[in-house]
Chains A and B, each alone.
Chain A
Amino acid sequence: MLVIIVGVHQHLERQFDFGVFYYAAHMIVDGKGHDLYSFATQHFYQLRYHRPPDTLFRYPPIAPIPILPLTVLPMSVAFAVWTAACMGLLSASIKVSSARLGWRSGTGLSCWAFFLFLFLIACSTANIRF
């Protein structure tokens, strides 16, 4: 699933929001944090990372904090790492919750949980802008 999501991201990168956080994190790392809400500086970074001009970073300054360590990686690799981390955390949350309820693998209930998990993974990690 990770390969599929990353593959889709490669082809439709401009429609994903990840690049917005990625370039905002680069602005902070480059010491341009004071210009985080400057249209001109954002447009400069959009050009640098091949982002469309209409998808601005309009989130609070704390939003790119989790992406800061990923700025050492190229965008496609950073997206793959970020997606894998999201999938891992979501998977762990569901596994722990299922175990707490006594849902063991092989039962009908865990099958439903699994399908729910698969679907929500796609929703929560693809992050395609509708």
Chain B
Amino acid sequence: MFYALLYQQLRRGHNFLGGALLGLATLKFQLVLGFVPIFLLKRKWRELAGFSISTAILVAISLGMTGLQALHSYPNFALHAELPVNELPHKANWQGLLSLIGQDGSVWVALLSVATIVWAARAWANLDRGFCAATLAVMLISYHITPQDISLAIVPFFVAVSAGILPRDRVPIVAAIGMGILLIFMMVQIPMALFAIVLAAALLRVGIRARNAKASDRSNPLRTTV
């Protein structure tokens, strides 16, 4: 919902409010923080200002509920509280995908994350392409993502159709394939981490489309981009 509202506000040009709404989504901070380096690279200061203020308010509320000492002990607790099961193979992100080949926590996760952020920032030729790319990138580089968090892909899906990145006549087949893949993953218990490949492919497509659009604009200077 926060993602949808963020897109809506950015669409209307209310960048500060959009950033503030994104800050409220830090209730699931791992699926939000990836936007910050992308906004920084794109020098989106109003979005960052709104994000900072609403995040600061949430931190203040947290302090009021738990006190400084509890907040201070959180990192240590999170590091030492063992997970009941190994969740990495069920995370549709770079960390989960690399865990399948024993490379989780490796330098490859860091390198892929940096490359993903840079790719998403470069894809921000306009709001629609940029938002699609950023959302997919945030999911891929997230520290923790559950299978149900893949529902976040709804927003870039609709934006991609609206912006013409995904042609309307292909929506039924893409939706059918997407649902089929997810159902197979669930029923046959294929590691959900492999779904990161689907997200990465979508991000790659958005980025390539953006580059093609830029090249097209350069060859035809009468066209303008938003």
Q: Which residues of A contact B (CB under 8 A)?
A: 28, 33-37, 39, 52, 54-56, 58, 60-63, 65-66, 89-90, 92-94, 96-98, 100-101, 108-109, 112-113, 115-116, 119-120, 123-127, 129-130
Q: Bound state CA distance, A60 and B171, in angstroms?
A: 38
Report how far A57 CA is from B84 CA in the complex, Å. 12
Residues from 127 to 169 in B contacting A, C-beta threshold 8 Å: 146-151, 154-155, 158, 161-162, 168
Give the residues in chain A near B147, CB-CB below 8 Å: 123, 130
Centre residue among A58, A94, A113 by max chain B CB count within 10 A: A58
Most buried by A among B65, B67, B70, B171: B65
For B106-141 the 0/1 string (1 means CB < 8 A from A) is: 000000000000000000000000000000000000
Q: A60-B62, A94-B154, A96-B4 are in contact. Are A37 and B172 (CB under 8 A)?
A: no
Contact B77 A58 (CB under 8 A): yes
Residues of A near B158 (CB, < 8 A) are: 97-98, 100-101
Nearest B residue to A126 via CB reads B148
Q: Does B204 make an interface contact (CB < 8 A)?
A: no
A33 and B148 form a contact (CB under 8 A): no
How far does the alpha carbon of A98 sit from the alpha carbon of B73 in the complex, in Å?
Answer: 45
Chain B: CB-nearest residue to A112:
B175
Q: Measured between alpha carbons, how far is A36 from B155 in the docked complex, in Å?
A: 34
Of the four ranges (under 10, 10 to 19, 20 to 34, 35 or more), the interface on chain B belongs to 35 or more
From B69, B155, B171, name the one whose CB has the most chain A CB atoms within 10 angstroms.
B171
- Are the CB atoms of A34 and B67 closer together than 8 Å? yes
B4 touches A97 (CB 8 A): yes
Separation of A123 and B151 alpha carbons in the complex (Å): 8
Q: List 4 additional A-B contacts (Cβ < 8 Å) besides A58-B78, A62-B27, A62-B58.
A: A62-B59, A93-B154, A97-B4, A113-B175
Q: When A55-B84, A58-B77, A62-B62 are in contact, do A119 and B148 touch as well, CB less than 8 Å?
A: no
Indicate whether A54 sits within 8 Å of B74 (C-beta atoms), given known contacts A65-B27, A90-B151, A101-B162.
no
In contact, B65 and A112 (Cβ under 8 angstroms): no
Closest to B3 in A: A93
Residues in B whose Cβ lies below 8 Å from that of A28? 65-66
Contacts of A119 in B (CB 8 A): 179, 182-183
- Name the distance in Å between B95's Cβ and chain A's nearest Cβ: 15
